[in-house]
Protein backbone atom coordinates (compact mmCIF):
# COMPACT_ATOMS: atom_id res chain seq x y z
CA UNK A 1 0.00 0.00 0.00
CA UNK A 2 1.29 3.50 -0.85
CA UNK A 3 2.24 5.92 1.90
CA UNK A 4 -0.57 8.09 3.31
CA UNK A 5 0.03 11.85 3.30
CA UNK A 6 -2.26 13.78 5.61
CA UNK A 7 -3.81 16.87 3.98
CA UNK A 8 -4.43 19.71 6.41
CA UNK A 9 -6.40 22.62 4.93
CA UNK A 10 -6.06 26.10 6.40
CA UNK A 11 -8.10 28.01 3.79
CA UNK A 12 -10.54 29.22 6.45
CA UNK A 13 -7.75 30.67 8.62
CA UNK A 14 -4.57 31.37 6.64
CA UNK A 15 -6.57 31.75 3.42
CA UNK A 16 -8.80 34.38 5.00
CA UNK A 17 -5.70 36.55 5.43
CA UNK A 18 -5.59 37.07 1.66
CA UNK A 19 -5.95 40.72 0.74
CA UNK A 20 -9.54 41.28 -0.40
CA UNK A 21 -10.91 38.01 1.02
CA UNK A 22 -13.41 38.05 3.87
CA UNK A 23 -15.44 34.95 4.69
CA UNK A 24 -18.81 35.19 6.40
CA UNK A 25 -19.76 32.51 8.88
CA UNK A 26 -22.00 30.96 6.24
CA UNK A 27 -19.12 31.01 3.74
CA UNK A 28 -16.92 29.13 6.19
CA UNK A 29 -19.53 26.48 6.80
CA UNK A 30 -20.12 25.99 3.06
CA UNK A 31 -16.39 25.60 2.41
CA UNK A 32 -16.14 23.16 5.32
CA UNK A 33 -18.86 21.01 3.80
CA UNK A 34 -17.21 21.11 0.35
CA UNK A 35 -13.74 20.21 1.71
CA UNK A 36 -15.22 17.36 3.72
CA UNK A 37 -17.01 16.00 0.65
CA UNK A 38 -13.74 16.21 -1.29
CA UNK A 39 -12.00 14.10 1.34
CA UNK A 40 -9.66 16.53 3.13
CA UNK A 41 -8.28 15.02 6.37
CA UNK A 42 -8.16 18.16 8.53
CA UNK A 43 -9.95 21.49 8.19
CA UNK A 44 -8.56 24.33 10.28
CA UNK A 45 -11.61 26.41 11.12
CA UNK A 46 -9.96 29.46 12.63
CA UNK A 47 -8.66 30.95 15.86
CA UNK A 48 -11.49 30.84 18.43
CA UNK A 49 -9.66 33.18 20.80
CA UNK A 50 -9.15 35.93 18.24
CA UNK A 51 -12.63 37.03 17.06
CA UNK A 52 -16.37 36.36 17.60
CA UNK A 53 -16.91 34.93 14.08
CA UNK A 54 -14.41 32.11 14.59
CA UNK A 55 -15.90 31.35 17.98
CA UNK A 56 -19.35 31.09 16.35
CA UNK A 57 -17.89 28.85 13.65
CA UNK A 58 -16.81 26.21 16.15
CA UNK A 59 -20.21 26.30 17.81
CA UNK A 60 -21.94 25.83 14.43
CA UNK A 61 -19.58 23.22 12.97
CA UNK A 62 -20.04 20.98 16.01
CA UNK A 63 -23.52 20.10 14.76
CA UNK A 64 -22.35 19.24 11.23
CA UNK A 65 -22.05 15.56 10.39
CA UNK A 66 -18.71 15.39 8.59
CA UNK A 67 -17.74 12.19 6.83
CA UNK A 68 -14.02 12.61 6.18
CA UNK A 69 -12.54 15.62 7.95
CA UNK A 70 -11.54 16.44 11.49
CA UNK A 71 -11.94 20.05 12.57
CA UNK A 72 -8.88 21.80 13.97
CA UNK A 73 -8.77 24.96 16.04
CA UNK A 74 -5.73 27.24 15.79
CA UNK A 75 -3.96 29.30 18.42
CA UNK A 76 -0.65 30.12 20.02
CA UNK A 77 1.41 28.91 22.94
CA UNK A 78 0.68 30.49 26.30
CA UNK A 79 1.71 34.05 26.95
CA UNK A 80 4.90 34.79 28.84
CA UNK A 81 4.75 34.47 32.64
CA UNK A 82 1.28 32.88 32.52
CA UNK A 83 0.12 29.44 33.58
CA UNK A 84 -1.57 27.48 30.77
CA UNK A 85 -4.72 27.03 32.87
CA UNK A 86 -4.98 30.83 33.15
CA UNK A 87 -4.20 31.62 29.52
CA UNK A 88 -7.31 32.94 27.73
CA UNK A 89 -6.13 31.72 24.32
CA UNK A 90 -5.58 28.12 25.48
CA UNK A 91 -8.85 28.11 27.41
CA UNK A 92 -10.76 29.23 24.29
CA UNK A 93 -9.07 26.48 22.25
CA UNK A 94 -10.32 23.85 24.69
CA UNK A 95 -13.79 25.44 24.82
CA UNK A 96 -14.01 25.22 21.03
CA UNK A 97 -14.49 21.46 21.45
CA UNK A 98 -12.41 20.92 18.31
CA UNK A 99 -10.94 17.39 18.46
CA UNK A 100 -7.63 18.67 17.06
CA UNK A 101 -5.77 21.78 18.17
CA UNK A 102 -2.85 23.34 16.31
CA UNK A 103 -0.69 25.82 18.18
CA UNK A 104 2.30 27.76 16.94
CA UNK A 105 5.36 28.77 18.88
CA UNK A 106 8.65 30.52 18.28
CA UNK A 107 11.64 28.69 16.76
CA UNK A 108 13.83 31.60 15.71
CA UNK A 109 15.88 33.04 18.59
CA UNK A 110 15.52 36.55 17.13
CA UNK A 111 11.72 36.24 17.30
CA UNK A 112 11.98 35.16 20.94
CA UNK A 113 14.25 37.96 22.13
CA UNK A 114 13.16 40.82 19.84
CA UNK A 115 9.48 40.17 19.10
CA UNK A 116 7.87 38.49 22.13
CA UNK A 117 10.76 39.76 24.29
CA UNK A 118 11.40 36.88 26.59
CA UNK A 119 14.25 34.50 27.29
CA UNK A 120 15.15 31.47 25.23
CA UNK A 121 14.46 29.17 28.19
CA UNK A 122 11.06 30.74 28.88
CA UNK A 123 10.10 30.15 25.25
CA UNK A 124 10.95 26.45 25.58
CA UNK A 125 8.74 26.26 28.68
CA UNK A 126 5.91 28.08 26.87
CA UNK A 127 5.99 25.43 24.14
CA UNK A 128 6.21 22.50 26.54
CA UNK A 129 3.56 23.81 28.96
CA UNK A 130 1.07 24.60 26.19
CA UNK A 131 1.32 21.24 24.43
CA UNK A 132 1.14 19.36 27.74
CA UNK A 133 -1.94 21.36 28.83
CA UNK A 134 -3.81 20.55 25.62
CA UNK A 135 -2.83 16.87 25.81
CA UNK A 136 -4.16 16.74 29.38
CA UNK A 137 -7.44 18.00 27.94
CA UNK A 138 -7.43 14.95 25.66
CA UNK A 139 -6.87 16.75 22.35
CA UNK A 140 -4.87 15.72 19.35
CA UNK A 141 -2.16 18.39 19.19
CA UNK A 142 -0.19 19.59 16.18
CA UNK A 143 2.67 21.95 16.90
CA UNK A 144 3.47 24.51 14.18
CA UNK A 145 7.12 25.49 14.53
CA UNK A 146 6.86 29.06 13.25
CA UNK A 147 9.85 30.38 11.24
CA UNK A 148 11.47 26.96 11.63
CA UNK A 149 13.76 27.17 8.61
CA UNK A 150 14.87 30.75 9.30
CA UNK A 151 15.41 29.78 12.93
CA UNK A 152 17.44 26.74 11.96
CA UNK A 153 19.66 28.78 9.65
CA UNK A 154 20.30 31.32 12.43
CA UNK A 155 20.72 28.97 15.40
CA UNK A 156 20.26 25.27 14.59
CA UNK A 157 20.87 24.05 18.14
CA UNK A 158 18.13 26.24 19.57
CA UNK A 159 15.68 25.49 16.73
CA UNK A 160 16.08 21.77 17.45
CA UNK A 161 15.47 22.36 21.17
CA UNK A 162 12.14 24.09 20.44
CA UNK A 163 10.70 21.15 18.49
CA UNK A 164 12.11 18.68 21.02
CA UNK A 165 10.18 20.59 23.69
CA UNK A 166 6.96 20.05 21.73
CA UNK A 167 7.79 16.39 21.08
CA UNK A 168 8.60 15.65 24.71
CA UNK A 169 5.35 17.27 25.83
CA UNK A 170 3.39 14.87 23.62
CA UNK A 171 2.73 16.69 20.33
CA UNK A 172 1.20 14.31 17.77
CA UNK A 173 2.92 16.02 14.83
CA UNK A 174 5.63 18.67 14.53
CA UNK A 175 4.89 20.95 11.57
CA UNK A 176 7.89 22.81 10.15
CA UNK A 177 6.92 26.27 8.90
CA UNK A 178 8.64 28.35 6.23
CA UNK A 179 6.74 31.37 7.52
CA UNK A 180 8.56 34.02 5.49
CA UNK A 181 8.56 31.87 2.35
CA UNK A 182 12.23 32.50 1.68
CA UNK A 183 13.68 28.98 1.81
CA UNK A 184 14.76 27.04 -1.30
CA UNK A 185 13.92 23.37 -1.92
CA UNK A 186 17.46 22.05 -1.44
CA UNK A 187 17.64 23.87 1.90
CA UNK A 188 14.31 22.37 3.01
CA UNK A 189 15.56 18.86 2.20
CA UNK A 190 18.90 19.33 3.96
CA UNK A 191 17.41 20.87 7.12
CA UNK A 192 14.74 18.17 7.48
CA UNK A 193 17.37 15.49 6.99
CA UNK A 194 19.46 16.99 9.81
CA UNK A 195 16.44 17.42 12.10
CA UNK A 196 15.48 13.76 11.76
CA UNK A 197 18.68 12.84 13.62
CA UNK A 198 17.30 14.58 16.71
CA UNK A 199 13.53 13.98 16.65
CA UNK A 200 11.23 10.96 16.32
CA UNK A 201 7.78 12.57 16.18
CA UNK A 202 5.93 12.65 12.82
CA UNK A 203 6.80 15.73 10.79
CA UNK A 204 4.62 18.05 8.72
CA UNK A 205 5.34 20.98 6.40
CA UNK A 206 3.72 24.44 6.14
CA UNK A 207 5.16 26.70 3.45
CA UNK A 208 4.48 30.18 2.11
CA UNK A 209 4.88 31.25 -1.50
CA UNK A 210 7.01 34.37 -1.35
CA UNK A 211 9.58 32.88 -3.77
CA UNK A 212 6.95 30.94 -5.75
CA UNK A 213 8.41 27.81 -4.12
CA UNK A 214 5.64 26.75 -1.72
CA UNK A 215 4.49 23.77 -3.79
CA UNK A 216 8.07 22.68 -4.56
CA UNK A 217 9.07 22.99 -0.91
CA UNK A 218 6.04 20.95 0.18
CA UNK A 219 6.80 18.18 -2.32
CA UNK A 220 10.48 18.01 -1.36
CA UNK A 221 9.50 17.89 2.32
CA UNK A 222 7.34 14.84 1.64
CA UNK A 223 10.24 13.24 -0.21
CA UNK A 224 12.38 13.97 2.86
CA UNK A 225 9.91 12.18 5.14
CA UNK A 226 7.12 14.61 6.15
CA UNK A 227 3.73 12.95 6.42
CA UNK A 228 1.47 16.00 6.75
CA UNK A 229 1.10 18.96 4.38
CA UNK A 230 -0.60 22.17 5.42
CA UNK A 231 -1.82 24.57 2.76
CA UNK A 232 -4.79 26.35 1.22
CA UNK A 233 -6.93 25.78 -1.83
CA UNK A 234 -5.84 27.88 -4.80
CA UNK A 235 -2.84 29.09 -2.77
CA UNK A 236 -4.84 31.71 -0.86
CA UNK A 237 -2.96 33.46 1.92
CA UNK A 238 -1.22 36.59 3.09
CA UNK A 239 1.37 38.30 0.87
CA UNK A 240 2.11 35.81 -1.97
CA UNK A 241 -0.07 33.08 -0.48
CA UNK A 242 0.36 29.62 0.98
CA UNK A 243 1.20 26.27 -0.55
CA UNK A 244 -1.49 25.50 -3.13
CA UNK A 245 -3.24 22.29 -2.07
CA UNK A 246 -5.02 22.12 -5.42
CA UNK A 247 -1.70 21.50 -7.17
CA UNK A 248 -0.12 19.50 -4.34
CA UNK A 249 -2.95 16.97 -4.12
CA UNK A 250 -2.81 16.44 -7.88
CA UNK A 251 0.96 15.92 -7.85
CA UNK A 252 1.05 13.57 -4.87
CA UNK A 253 -1.84 11.48 -6.17
CA UNK A 254 -0.82 11.14 -9.82
CA UNK A 255 2.93 11.72 -10.02
CA UNK A 256 4.12 10.18 -6.77
CA UNK A 257 1.57 7.44 -6.16
CA UNK A 258 0.86 8.63 -2.61
CA UNK A 259 -2.50 8.50 -0.87
CA UNK A 260 -4.10 11.85 -0.09
CA UNK A 261 -7.85 12.19 -0.64
CA UNK A 262 -9.91 9.17 -1.72
CA UNK A 263 -8.86 8.37 -5.30
CA UNK A 264 -12.43 8.48 -6.61
CA UNK A 265 -12.72 12.13 -5.49
CA UNK A 266 -9.78 13.41 -7.53
CA UNK A 267 -12.12 14.04 -10.47
CA UNK A 268 -13.72 16.76 -8.30
CA UNK A 269 -10.46 18.72 -7.90
CA UNK A 270 -11.32 21.43 -10.44
CA UNK A 271 -14.91 21.78 -9.27
CA UNK A 272 -13.80 22.12 -5.63
CA UNK A 273 -11.15 24.71 -6.56
CA UNK A 274 -13.65 26.84 -8.50
CA UNK A 275 -16.28 26.51 -5.78
CA UNK A 276 -13.86 27.99 -3.25
CA UNK A 277 -12.78 30.59 -5.80
CA UNK A 278 -16.38 31.75 -6.16
CA UNK A 279 -17.03 31.99 -2.42
CA UNK A 280 -13.74 33.77 -1.75
CA UNK A 281 -14.28 36.08 -4.75
CA UNK A 282 -10.76 35.30 -5.94
CA UNK A 283 -9.69 34.47 -9.48
CA UNK A 284 -8.05 31.22 -10.56
CA UNK A 285 -5.56 32.12 -13.27
CA UNK A 286 -6.28 30.57 -16.66
CA UNK A 287 -2.82 28.97 -16.64
CA UNK A 288 -3.17 27.47 -13.15
CA UNK A 289 -1.70 23.96 -13.07
CA UNK A 290 -4.14 21.04 -13.47
CA UNK A 291 -7.37 23.03 -13.01
CA UNK A 292 -6.86 26.24 -15.01
CA UNK A 293 -8.99 27.01 -18.06
CA UNK A 294 -5.85 26.88 -20.21
CA UNK A 295 -4.04 24.05 -18.41
CA UNK A 296 -4.77 21.59 -21.22
CA UNK A 297 -5.39 24.06 -24.04
CA UNK A 298 -3.53 23.81 -27.34
CA UNK A 299 -3.09 26.64 -29.83
CA UNK A 300 -0.14 25.75 -32.10
CA UNK A 301 -1.12 23.77 -35.19
CA UNK A 302 1.69 21.21 -34.77
CA UNK A 303 0.66 20.65 -31.16
CA UNK A 304 -3.02 20.24 -32.00
CA UNK A 305 -2.32 17.76 -34.78
CA UNK A 306 -0.07 15.71 -32.49
CA UNK A 307 -2.47 15.73 -29.51
CA UNK A 308 -5.34 14.51 -31.70
CA UNK A 309 -3.17 11.58 -32.72
CA UNK A 310 -1.73 10.92 -29.28
CA UNK A 311 -2.49 13.19 -26.28
CA UNK A 312 0.75 12.26 -24.49
CA UNK A 313 2.64 14.09 -27.25
CA UNK A 314 1.94 17.43 -25.54
CA UNK A 315 0.12 16.55 -22.30
CA UNK A 316 1.81 15.19 -19.18
CA UNK A 317 -1.39 13.58 -17.93
CA UNK A 318 -5.09 13.10 -18.67
CA UNK A 319 -7.05 16.28 -17.79
CA UNK A 320 -10.21 14.35 -16.94
CA UNK A 321 -8.46 12.89 -13.88
CA UNK A 322 -8.84 16.31 -12.24
CA UNK A 323 -12.24 17.16 -13.71
CA UNK A 324 -10.67 19.34 -16.41
CA UNK A 325 -10.84 18.90 -20.18
CA UNK A 326 -8.78 19.39 -23.30
CA UNK A 327 -9.37 22.45 -25.49
CA UNK A 328 -8.20 23.46 -28.95
CA UNK A 329 -8.28 27.17 -29.67
CA UNK A 330 -8.49 28.79 -33.04
CA UNK A 331 -5.80 31.18 -34.22
CA UNK A 332 -3.65 31.96 -37.22
CA UNK A 333 -1.06 29.62 -35.67
CA UNK A 334 -3.39 26.68 -35.24
CA UNK A 335 -4.07 25.69 -38.84
CA UNK A 336 -7.28 23.94 -39.81
CA UNK A 337 -7.66 21.49 -36.93
CA UNK A 338 -9.68 23.68 -34.50
CA UNK A 339 -11.99 24.58 -37.38
CA UNK A 340 -12.50 20.94 -38.30
CA UNK A 341 -13.12 20.01 -34.65
CA UNK A 342 -15.64 22.83 -34.20
CA UNK A 343 -17.40 21.81 -37.41
CA UNK A 344 -17.49 18.23 -36.16
CA UNK A 345 -19.20 19.40 -32.96
CA UNK A 346 -21.87 20.93 -35.24
CA UNK A 347 -22.29 17.58 -37.05
CA UNK A 348 -20.54 18.97 -40.12
CA UNK A 349 -17.82 16.79 -41.57
CA UNK A 350 -15.07 18.75 -43.30
CA UNK A 351 -12.09 17.26 -45.06
CA UNK A 352 -8.81 18.89 -44.09
CA UNK A 353 -7.99 19.43 -47.78
CA UNK A 354 -11.46 20.57 -48.84
CA UNK A 355 -12.12 24.03 -50.37
CA UNK A 356 -14.48 24.80 -47.46
CA UNK A 357 -11.75 24.15 -44.88
CA UNK A 358 -9.27 26.23 -46.85
CA UNK A 359 -11.77 29.09 -47.15
CA UNK A 360 -12.54 29.00 -43.44
CA UNK A 361 -8.84 29.15 -42.54
CA UNK A 362 -8.28 32.09 -44.90
CA UNK A 363 -11.24 33.95 -43.37
CA UNK A 364 -9.97 33.21 -39.86
CA UNK A 365 -6.48 34.47 -40.67
CA UNK A 366 -7.95 37.60 -42.24
CA UNK A 367 -10.06 38.21 -39.13
CA UNK A 368 -7.04 37.79 -36.85
CA UNK A 369 -5.07 40.14 -39.06
CA UNK A 370 -7.71 42.78 -38.30
CA UNK A 371 -7.38 42.24 -34.53
CA UNK A 372 -9.77 39.40 -33.69
CA UNK A 373 -8.53 36.86 -31.15
CA UNK A 374 -10.85 33.90 -31.12
CA UNK A 375 -8.86 31.90 -28.57
CA UNK A 376 -10.25 34.37 -26.02
CA UNK A 377 -13.79 34.20 -27.42
CA UNK A 378 -15.03 30.65 -27.96
CA UNK A 379 -18.64 31.73 -28.40
CA UNK A 380 -17.82 34.18 -31.20
CA UNK A 381 -15.65 31.53 -32.85
CA UNK A 382 -18.54 29.05 -32.94
CA UNK A 383 -20.77 31.71 -34.48
CA UNK A 384 -18.04 32.60 -36.99
CA UNK A 385 -17.75 28.97 -38.14
CA UNK A 386 -21.52 28.52 -38.41
CA UNK A 387 -21.96 31.73 -40.36
CA UNK A 388 -19.13 30.84 -42.74
CA UNK A 389 -20.59 27.38 -43.34
CA UNK A 390 -24.05 28.91 -43.74
CA UNK A 391 -25.32 26.73 -40.90
CA UNK A 392 -26.77 29.64 -39.00
CA UNK A 393 -29.90 31.79 -39.10
CA UNK A 394 -29.84 35.03 -37.08
CA UNK A 395 -32.44 35.33 -34.32
CA UNK A 396 -33.02 39.02 -35.03
CA UNK A 397 -32.04 41.72 -37.50
CA UNK A 398 -30.91 45.23 -36.60
CA UNK A 399 -32.87 48.05 -38.20
CA UNK A 400 -30.93 50.78 -36.42
CA UNK A 401 -29.85 52.17 -33.04
CA UNK A 402 -28.88 55.48 -31.46
CA UNK A 403 -26.73 56.01 -28.40
CA UNK A 404 -25.90 59.24 -26.63
CA UNK A 405 -24.19 60.28 -23.41
CA UNK A 406 -24.71 63.50 -21.49
CA UNK A 407 -22.73 65.01 -18.65
CA UNK A 408 -25.08 67.07 -16.51
CA UNK A 409 -24.46 70.16 -14.43
CA UNK A 410 -24.18 68.08 -11.24
CA UNK A 411 -21.37 65.98 -12.72
CA UNK A 412 -23.47 62.85 -13.28
CA UNK A 413 -23.17 60.98 -16.57
CA UNK A 414 -26.41 59.99 -18.27
CA UNK A 415 -26.51 57.47 -21.14
CA UNK A 416 -29.49 56.43 -23.25
CA UNK A 417 -29.93 54.04 -26.17
CA UNK A 418 -32.84 53.47 -28.55
CA UNK A 419 -33.04 50.54 -30.91
CA UNK A 420 -35.20 49.05 -33.67
CA UNK A 421 -34.89 45.36 -34.49
CA UNK A 422 -36.90 42.91 -36.57
CA UNK A 423 -37.76 39.76 -34.60
CA UNK A 424 -39.71 36.85 -36.13
CA UNK A 425 -41.05 39.16 -38.82
CA UNK A 426 -42.12 41.96 -36.46
CA UNK A 427 -40.38 45.26 -35.82
CA UNK A 428 -39.67 46.03 -32.18
CA UNK A 429 -38.61 49.36 -30.71
CA UNK A 430 -37.10 49.96 -27.29
CA UNK A 431 -35.24 52.68 -25.39
CA UNK A 432 -33.32 52.38 -22.13
CA UNK A 433 -31.05 54.38 -19.87
CA UNK A 434 -27.87 52.91 -18.44
CA UNK A 435 -24.72 53.56 -16.44
CA UNK A 436 -22.88 53.99 -19.76
CA UNK A 437 -23.61 53.71 -23.47
CA UNK A 438 -22.89 49.96 -23.65
CA UNK A 439 -25.05 49.24 -20.60
CA UNK A 440 -27.87 51.31 -22.12
CA UNK A 441 -27.53 49.50 -25.46
CA UNK A 442 -27.57 46.11 -23.74
CA UNK A 443 -30.74 46.95 -21.81
CA UNK A 444 -32.49 48.38 -24.88
CA UNK A 445 -31.66 45.34 -27.04
CA UNK A 446 -32.85 42.88 -24.46
CA UNK A 447 -36.04 44.80 -23.84
CA UNK A 448 -36.76 44.62 -27.59
CA UNK A 449 -36.11 40.86 -27.70
CA UNK A 450 -37.59 39.74 -24.41
CA UNK A 451 -41.13 39.11 -25.63
CA UNK A 452 -39.90 36.74 -28.34
CA UNK A 453 -37.09 35.23 -26.24
CA UNK A 454 -38.07 35.32 -22.53
CA UNK A 455 -35.09 33.16 -21.49
CA UNK A 456 -32.82 36.17 -22.04
CA UNK A 457 -33.81 37.08 -18.47
CA UNK A 458 -31.47 34.30 -17.34
CA UNK A 459 -28.29 35.90 -18.71
CA UNK A 460 -26.22 38.90 -17.69
CA UNK A 461 -22.90 40.48 -18.66
CA UNK A 462 -20.26 39.58 -16.08
CA UNK A 463 -17.18 41.30 -17.55
CA UNK A 464 -16.30 43.92 -20.17
CA UNK A 465 -12.75 44.54 -21.40
CA UNK A 466 -11.43 47.03 -23.95
CA UNK A 467 -7.97 47.03 -25.49
CA UNK A 468 -6.51 49.55 -27.93
CA UNK A 469 -4.84 47.55 -30.71
CA UNK A 470 -2.50 50.18 -32.16
CA UNK A 471 -1.67 53.00 -29.80
CA UNK A 472 0.20 54.88 -32.57
CA UNK A 473 -3.15 55.65 -34.20
CA UNK A 474 -4.29 57.59 -31.13
CA UNK A 475 -8.03 58.15 -30.90
CA UNK A 476 -8.50 56.63 -34.38
CA UNK A 477 -7.04 53.30 -33.27
CA UNK A 478 -8.99 50.06 -33.48
CA UNK A 479 -10.24 48.67 -30.21
CA UNK A 480 -10.94 45.08 -29.25
CA UNK A 481 -13.88 44.49 -26.93
CA UNK A 482 -14.33 41.23 -25.01
CA UNK A 483 -17.61 40.62 -23.24
CA UNK A 484 -18.06 37.76 -20.80
CA UNK A 485 -21.64 36.64 -20.21
CA UNK A 486 -23.19 34.01 -18.02
CA UNK A 487 -26.45 32.35 -17.17
CA UNK A 488 -27.36 29.74 -14.57
CA UNK A 489 -25.21 27.02 -16.14
CA UNK A 490 -22.53 28.50 -18.42
CA UNK A 491 -20.05 31.30 -19.01
CA UNK A 492 -19.07 32.41 -22.53
CA UNK A 493 -16.98 35.15 -24.13
CA UNK A 494 -17.56 37.13 -27.31
CA UNK A 495 -15.48 39.62 -29.27
CA UNK A 496 -15.86 42.76 -31.36
CA UNK A 497 -13.25 44.86 -33.21
CA UNK A 498 -13.71 48.33 -34.74
CA UNK A 499 -12.34 51.89 -34.75
CA UNK A 500 -15.59 52.91 -33.05
CA UNK A 501 -15.84 51.52 -29.50
CA UNK A 502 -19.64 51.47 -29.64
CA UNK A 503 -19.62 49.39 -32.83
CA UNK A 504 -17.01 46.98 -31.38
CA UNK A 505 -19.15 46.68 -28.24
CA UNK A 506 -22.30 46.13 -30.32
CA UNK A 507 -20.65 43.26 -32.19
CA UNK A 508 -19.54 41.53 -28.98
CA UNK A 509 -22.90 42.26 -27.34
CA UNK A 510 -25.03 40.82 -30.13
CA UNK A 511 -22.78 37.75 -30.35
CA UNK A 512 -23.30 37.16 -26.62
CA UNK A 513 -27.08 37.25 -27.02
CA UNK A 514 -27.05 35.20 -30.24
CA UNK A 515 -24.94 32.54 -28.51
CA UNK A 516 -27.34 32.38 -25.56
CA UNK A 517 -30.29 31.90 -27.92
CA UNK A 518 -28.35 29.33 -29.94
CA UNK A 519 -27.39 27.17 -26.99
CA UNK A 520 -30.94 27.34 -25.59
CA UNK A 521 -32.23 26.17 -28.97
CA UNK A 522 -29.99 23.08 -28.76
CA UNK A 523 -31.61 21.97 -25.50
Name, in order, each residue with C-beta under 8 angstroms of 141's C-beta and a sequence gap of 6 or more.
Answer: 100, 101, 102, 103, 131, 134, 135, 170, 171, 172
Residue 100: the pLDDT is 98
Q: pTM of the entire structure?
A: 0.73
β-sheet with 491-498: strand ranges across: 460-468, 479-486, 491-498
Tell me the percentage of the chain whose pLDDT exceeds 90: 67
Contact in structure between 149 and 191 (CB atoms under 8 Å)? yes
> What's the distance, CA 341 to chain centroid?
29
Q: Of 513, 517, 383, which is closest to residue 444 (Cα–Cα)?
A: 513
Q: Are strands 42-46 and 70-76 parallel, antiparallel or unpaired?
A: parallel
Q: What share of the chain is helix, strand, coil (3-state, %, to 5)?
A: 45, 20, 35
* DSSP H/E element including 414: strand 413-423
Do residues 238 and 17 make contact, with C-beta atoms less than 8 angstroms apart?
yes
Q: Please give the helix or strand (H or E) that residue 461 lies within, else none.
A: strand 460-468
Q: Please state the separation of Cα 166 from the chain's center in Å.
A: 35
Q: Quick one: pLDDT band at residue 331, thresholds 50, 70, 90?
A: low
For position 406, what pLDDT does the model report? 87
Of residues 44 and 333, which shows the higher confidence score?
44
pLDDT at 1 over 50: no
Q: State which of 105-114, 338-347, 362-371, 459-468 shows the largest mean pLDDT.
A: 105-114
Average pLDDT estimate for 292-318 = 86
Alpha carbon distance 231, 382 (integer Å): 40
CB distance 79 to 133 below 8 Å: no
- Domains of the chain (ranges, CATH numbers): 6-280 (3.20.20.70), 297-369 (no CATH), 397-522 (3.30.160.270)
Picking from 482, 483, 489, 485, the residue whose alpha carbon sits closest to that of residue 522 is 489
Classify residue 377 by its DSSP letter: -
Confirm if 273 and 248 have CB atoms less than 8 A apart: no
Burial 223-236 (b: 16+ CB within 10 A, else e): ebebbbbbbbbbbb
pLDDT at residue number 139 = 97
What does the DSSP 8-state code read for residue 235? G
Q: How many CB atoms lie within 10 A of CB 354?
A: 13
User: Once rounded to an integer, what is the mean pLDDT over residues 367-387?
Assistant: 80
Write out pLDDT tens, residues 397-420: 999 999 988 888 888 888 999 999
Asked if residue 522 lies in contact with residue 510, where contact means CB atoms within 8 angstroms, the answer is no
Instruction: Tell me how far apart the alpha carbons of residues 463 and 483 are, in angstroms, rounded to a whole number.
Output: 6
pLDDT band with cut points at 50, 70 and 90 for residue 508? very high
> How far apart (Å, rounded) are the C-alpha atoms in residues 485 and 496?
14
In this predicted structure, the answer to whether residue 67 has a pLDDT above a threshold of 70 is yes
Task: For residue 486, report the phi and psi dihedrals to the nearest 5 degrees.
Answer: -150, 155
DSSP codes, 428-440? EEEEEEESSHHHH
Instruction: Check whether 82 has a pLDDT greater than 60.
Output: yes
Q: Using 50, 70 and 90 to split pLDDT, how confident is the model at 371?
A: confident
17-59 pLDDT, tens digit each: 999 999 999 999 999 999 999 999 999 999 997 888 999 999 9
CA distances from 503 to 382, 437, 472 (A): 20, 11, 21
pLDDT digits (tens, 9 = 90+) for 157-185: 999 999 999 999 999 999 999 999 999 99
Predicted local distance difference test score (pLDDT) of residue 358: 78
Residues 6+ apart with CB under 8 A from 351: 357
End-to-end CA separation in angstroms for the chain: 46
Residue 464 and residue 486 in contact, taking contact as beta carbons nearer than 8 Å: no
Q: How confident is the model at residue 523 (pLDDT cuts 50, 70, 90)?
A: low
Q: How many Å is the Cα radius of gyration of the chain?
A: 29
**Count of C-beta atoms within a 10 Å radius of residue 509:** 23
- Is residue 184 within 8 A of residue 213, CB to CB? The reply is yes
CB 211 within 8 A of CB 182: yes
Q: What is the mean pLDDT of residues 363-369?
A: 79
Amino acid sequence: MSRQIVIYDTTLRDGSQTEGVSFTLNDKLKITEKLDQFGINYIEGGWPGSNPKDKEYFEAVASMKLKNAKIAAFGSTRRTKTNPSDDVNLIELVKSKAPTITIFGKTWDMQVTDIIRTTLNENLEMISDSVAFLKKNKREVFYDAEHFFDGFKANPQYAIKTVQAAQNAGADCIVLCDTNGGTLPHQVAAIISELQKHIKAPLGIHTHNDLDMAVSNSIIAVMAGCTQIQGTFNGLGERCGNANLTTIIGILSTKMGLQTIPEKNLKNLKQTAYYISEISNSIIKDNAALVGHSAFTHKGGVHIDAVIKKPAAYEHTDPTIFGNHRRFVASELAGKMPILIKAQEMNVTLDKKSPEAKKLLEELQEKENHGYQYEAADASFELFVKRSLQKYSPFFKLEGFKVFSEKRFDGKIFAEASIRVKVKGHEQFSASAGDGPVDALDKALRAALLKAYPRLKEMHLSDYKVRVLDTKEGTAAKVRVLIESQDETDTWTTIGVHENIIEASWEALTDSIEYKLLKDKKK
